[in-house]
Structure 1
C-alpha cells in the first residue's frame, strides 16, 4: 500500500511503501514459518540471555540488543569464537530479528540496516506471537 508523505507545509512528496513500526521491514508469522522451513532465514533473538534461556524460536542465535552493534562489527573469526556461529554477511537476505514483544526486535533491525545489512527484517509478532501460534500445533 502506498501513502503520501507531507512536508512541513503540507506539500506531497513521493509515495513511500507503508511498513509497520516506522519503516522497518517486517516478516509475518506465516512468512517466517515458510522461510524457516525452506532454510532461507537466519534468526536472531535479541532478548537477554535469561529470556532466551527460558525459551526461544528453534534455531535462533541469541545476541542481546545491547551487544548487537559490536557483534555485527566484529571480525568473522571473533564472531565465530564468541557466538559459535558464522557471522552474517551484509548481503545476506532474511536476517530476522525478534524479541519478546517487538520493540527490541525493531531496534535491532534498524541498527543492522544502519550498518549496511539490507536484508535485516523484524519479526514484529515477536516471541509472544510465536508461542501463541506454535503452541496450538
Structure 2
C-alpha cells in the first residue's frame, strides 16, 4: 500500500470521534520526552519504532504492556498521531500493512491539537 493511500482525519473529525465513540483507539507515536510535555487525552503511547511489534503482540501481552485492550484488525477507529504528521503517517502505513484496515492518521498531530485546545 502506497504512502498516499493513507486516510487522514482532521482535528474536527478527531474531536467528533472522541465525543461519540467508545471505540476510538488513539495512538501517540511520539517519543517519551515529547509525550511528557503534553498529550491528547485518551491516547496510548506507542513510539513509532515499536508500532509493528506492538500490533503484532497477542492481546494479553498488549494489555499487560500498554494497559488497554488491543484493537482488532477491523476496528473502525484506530487513529495514529505524532507531533506534525510524518511519524503518524508512517505508523498508519505499518498498521495497514499488518491488516488494520481502517487505520487513520491525524495529520495535524499534537502541534495542531495543542494550538486549538489552548495548551
Relative to its length, the structure with more strand (as a share) is 1
TM-score, length-normalised on structure 2? 0.93
Which segments of 5 or more consecutive residues in structure 1 lack a partner in the other structure? Answer: 1-20
The 5 Å alignment of 1:49-68 reads 49-68=32-51
Q: Deviations over 1:101-133 (max 9, x none)?
A: 100000000000000001100000111000111
TM-score, length-normalised on structure 1? 0.81
Q: Deviations over 1:34-78 (max 9, x none)?
A: 010002421100001121121110000000011110000001000
- Higher RCO, 1 or 2 (CA under 8 Å, sep at least 6)? 2
Deviant stretches of 4+, over 2 Å: none
Relative to its length, the structure with more helix (as a share) is 2
Which segments of 5 or more consecutive residues in structure 2 lack a partner in the other structure? Answer: none
Root-mean-square deviation (CA), in Å?
Answer: 1.2
Task: Identify the residue that residue 29 of structure 1 maps to in structure 2.
Answer: 11
